[in-house]
Structure 1
Amino acid sequence: MRIAIITKLNGGVGTFVSQLVKELSLHEDIESIDIFAYSDDKLKVPFQIPDGKVKIVTNGNRWSFLPRLLLHIPSLRKYDVIHHISSHVAFFLVYYTTGRVWRIPIVSTNHAHPGFKISEGGILGLLGRIEDLFLKFVIFKSKKLVVMTETVAKRFIEMYGVKPIVVYHGVDREHFKFDRSKREKIREKLKLNPDTMAILFVGKLWPHKDVLTLIEAVPKILRKCDNLKVIIIGDGPMYNDMIRKIEKLGIGKHVIVKKFAEDVTAYYSGADIFVMPSVKEEFGLVYVEAMACGLPVIATNGHVVPEIVGDAGLLFEPGNSNDLADKIIGLVNDRELYEELKKKSLERAKQFSWKKAAEQYCKIYKEALGGK
């Protein structure tokens, strides 16, 4: 099969594409994979192209992406399947050419949580309703629709009467694993004592990641556990607000902030607990990466998070810094529970495999071709 992938290469989507393509390229049923993409320079995921089968045809910024894609529309007729991963506008272009004229099946992977903004007022609500209209078009015009969790699939059934196929993301367990040498080096670099409890946050600092709830929990935790450091790895729109909050609360000596980590696995190995206060996730690769490194996870009890974390972590009410502080204090003071969650994290991570995801997508491509 000759596959064209239309996507962005930013953040978690970029990681998804790179890992999926790496595994797909190993399948004998896949003849070639061409990628038509865009990415923001600051967010671009380093993309390692497997030998032979894969090439990136376009990879400009988001503003030049559609004109570039338009120029390549005639060449899309040579593919057996189009895999659409992002940009609903790009889907319009592709559907009304390859889909309707040349009858090439389109498989769509949806990374959005439908209806999340619709209930909000103001500009967010308006944007949510516009996005929902685009999403409906993608849903009903795709030959196959894929989402990452059963939670999101149920949402599609409730809102649109459509049942998508669920394919979990994976984790590279050869890369994301506990490394004692890395732990010792990173803790020495960060000047952490052997008995200091290190709490780690990794993620783009979007508002919905809600890093401020973690910062607000720190003074409450310090009243019971003073030998503690919070490590924040990330940059984004909430960065300055976060720094101001840290200064206002006077907790600067207990918080380490890094906009970027050359090797994030060193921080996973060096930490003791992973915390993600996000109020909305479509999947959340960082949860699985942390679990693969043996970290107990503390996360919110909403959206898809309970499905991903399972019994390998503790859940708290979104936006509730008191609840988060209580969960962290409880875990720090309960060594038996801590060790139990470490073991459960490693077991839980084994359920997420890029190889398995690639096998499922190969099957989906074949089914889409069968109904061409």
Structure 2
Amino acid sequence: MNIVITNSPGEYSIQLAKEFTKRGHTVKFAQFSLRHPFHFIREFQNADIIHVNYACHGLKPLVINKFFGIPYIFTVHGVGAKDLLKYEYGLSKKVDFFHVIEHKLTSLISRNARAVISISQFAASRLKKNYGIKTYTVYHGVDLNKFNPSISGRYIRKKLGLKNNPVMLWVGRFIPWKDPFTFLNAIPLILPKYPSAKFIMLGEGPLKLNIKSFVKNSPQLRSSVIFPAFAEKINEYYAAANVFAFTSICEGFGYVLTEAMACGIPVVASNQGSPPEVVGDAGLFFQTGDSNDLSQKILTVLSDKALARKMGQKGRKRVERRFRWDICARQIMNIYNKALVQEKK
């Protein structure tokens, strides 16, 4: 099968391409560009099927489908732009523009797709409510070799000057719906029992300057919160942590959840959105937006080494069973095959 995947090859596209290639299929990446408007015909002309990853990249496949009959599949990587606009509108003109365009195009691209894929049951429910879209749910995978319990966190601890300090890790974009301030507000509630604890916040985003200013103006936070530079070896940061905290309000899946679980790190996550579905019984959950509840759950893990170890082991087993790229690729290939059968009818 000749498969064309649109947009720049991120982790999702790269891992699918690897798995499809193992199975003897040919995979090509089509870059989204406004230049050379008719060159895209050449990109897609030999394709059996096209895989679209963002609605704004679906216009070319839509045209190809209408004129040449080549079917396309559309994966919505999240809950859809309509929900995100509620939290992010006004952050920047660039972000606003992207979300508005993505929102406007989602219905159009979905209606004409041979199939639409959601990345969790929660995301599927939001897409159905907001756009009337019925989807196949296919979970993302995680690289089980890159993220595994044998990874050492010693280098990161040495680099950051951490010895036996308890370490809490937060990873994500600094944007409203990731809710980084709930994590920050939990810190003063943890420090009285663990005064040497350190809290690593790893990420970029439009709220980063505000968050750094918030931390700088608090003596407690200033001495406890660490903002490392961009981390190429993020797996070593997971390995250096005692607890991974996930505070998102409206998450469609949560790559970082499966990465932390794959590393055997105990996870404390918000009880709203996809985390209960992804983490299952391998983690603890706090009331979304409640810093006090988050702090209590983190303290529970820190004070019980047996519980922490059990959570880490269950998390690893869960990703091994449910969140592998070979499983993801097999399920998507089944959807491709159904789409091609429908096209022939």
Matches within 5 A, 1:222-371: 222-250=191-219, 251-350=221-320, 351-371=322-342
Cross-structure match for 1:150: 121
1:89 matched to 2:60: no
> How far does the alpha carbon of each residue in 1:219-277 deviate from its partner, in whole angstroms, 9 at most, with x for none?
11112221211112212211111111111221222111113112111111111111121
Cross-structure match for 1:168: 139
Whole-Å Cα distance in 1 between the matches of residues 23 and 198 of structure 2? 45
Look up the SS of the partner of 1:66 in the other structure. Answer: coil
Cross-structure match for 1:79: 47
Contact 1:23–1:358 (CA<8 Å) still a contact in 2?
yes
**What is the deviation of 1:118?**
6.4
> How far does the alpha carbon of each residue in 1:134-178 deviate from its partner, in whole angstroms, 9 at most, with x for none?
211122110011111112223333444442111111111111012
Q: 2:34 aligns with which of 66, 76, 80?
A: 66
**What is the deviation of 1:25?**
1.1
> How far does the alpha carbon of each residue in 1:161-219 deviate from its partner, in whole angstroms, 9 at most, with x for none?
44211111111111101236x2223222222222x211111222222222222112111
Distance 1:222 1:21, change over 3 A: same
Distance 1:204 1:117, change over 3 A: closer
What letter matches 1:89 in structure 2?
C
Look up the SS of the partner of 2:217 in the other structure. Answer: helix
Whole-Å Cα distance in 2 between the matches of residues 68 and 295 of structure 1? 47
> How far does the alpha carbon of each residue in 1:281-319 deviate from its partner, in whole angstroms, 9 at most, with x for none?
221111000000001111111111111111111112222
- Please give the TM-score of this superposition, normalised by the length of structure 2: 0.90
Distance 1:229 1:20, change over 3 A: same
Contact 1:178–1:268 (CA<8 Å) still a contact in 2?
no
1:116 matched to 2:97: no
Contact 1:6–1:35 (CA<8 Å) still a contact in 2?
yes
- Unpaired runs of 5+ in structure 1? 39-64
Whole-Å Cα distance in 1 between the matches of residues 154 and 49 of structure 2? 48
What letter matches 2:238 in structure 1?
Y
- Please give the TM-score of this superposition, normalised by the length of structure 1: 0.84
Distance 1:359 1:223, change over 3 A: same
Whole-Å Cα distance in 2 between the matches of residues 342 and 143 of structure 1? 39
- Unpaired runs of 5+ in structure 2? none
Distance 1:205 1:8, change over 3 A: farther
Identity %: 32
Whole-Å Cα distance in 2 between the matches of residues 121 and 19 of structure 1? 29
